[in-house]
Amino acid sequence: MGLRPEDLQRGEVYRREWLLEHGMHRRHLSSPAMTRVLPTCYTRTDYPADLRRVAVEAQDLLGCPSVVAGVTAAELFGVRLPRRARREGGARVHLDTSGGSSPRRTETLVVHRCAPPPTIRLHGVTMVEPLTALQEIAGRLTLDELVIAIDSLVADRFGTAWRIPLTEVREQAGAARGRGAKQLREAAALARERVWSPRETQMHLLLRRYGRPVTVMNHEVVDPATGIVYYIDLAYPERRIAIEYD
């Protein structure tokens, strides 16, 4: 009996040639039981490989030095992104490399040829820095979506795995050059610290666009009777006004 999808390890990525050599029939590769995550690479559909594992395999598949970039890096950092820019929404894996001479674009993988960018290592993966990733995708996001992404990057709670202070974000955005730099600066100017959800970002942007004063985000209030601490989404403490998104 040949190799079947249920025989494979959960959360692993397999090369097509390896699967065929070990007896998997081509009909299994094209069946709903298997999902193609990269060119010539598959995972079990019921127990798929996570994005980190797929990104590592993509770097190995490329065969030359590369770094995880764009939406892939942003998602691995934990940046709040719209569904279409996440893996669950069909976003492709993005890599930056200085090798080769032309870009590569398939249904599952996009390789950008560029000068080597500054990198960091997180979760065992070499990636572009968070703000570089956001600048790379700035043109694909609306202004509000980009502000949401930056709010998550500077949040003191429920934010990204790699937090950057807002002052540093604005400084780096001010010094950024090239495609996406203008959008990044505009979004950084609107971003706020202590924003813990996308809806809070949308609320504070809505209030600003209607000329309302800047709110305090996640204002702490202590119940004098119980000592329980509550956090108000947006507040004008001096006016005793609380705004909650429900």
What average pLDDT score do residues 138-164 get? 95
* Measured CA distances, 27 to 4, 18, 30, 31, 224 (Å): 10, 15, 5, 6, 66
Q: Is residue 17 over pLDDT 80?
A: yes
Q: Is residue 48 over pLDDT 90?
A: yes
Q: What's the pLDDT at 162?
A: 87
Q: What's the pLDDT at 110?
A: 95
Report residue 99's pLDDT band, with 50, 70 and 90 as the boundaries: confident
Q: pTM for this one?
A: 0.92
Report residue 95's pLDDT band, with 50, 70 and 90 as the boundaries: very high
User: What does the angle CA 135 – CA 166 – CA 72 come to, to the nearest 5 degrees?
Assistant: 35
Structure tokens at 25: 């029939």
* Measured CA distances, 34 to 22, 27, 50, 87 (Å): 15, 10, 14, 16
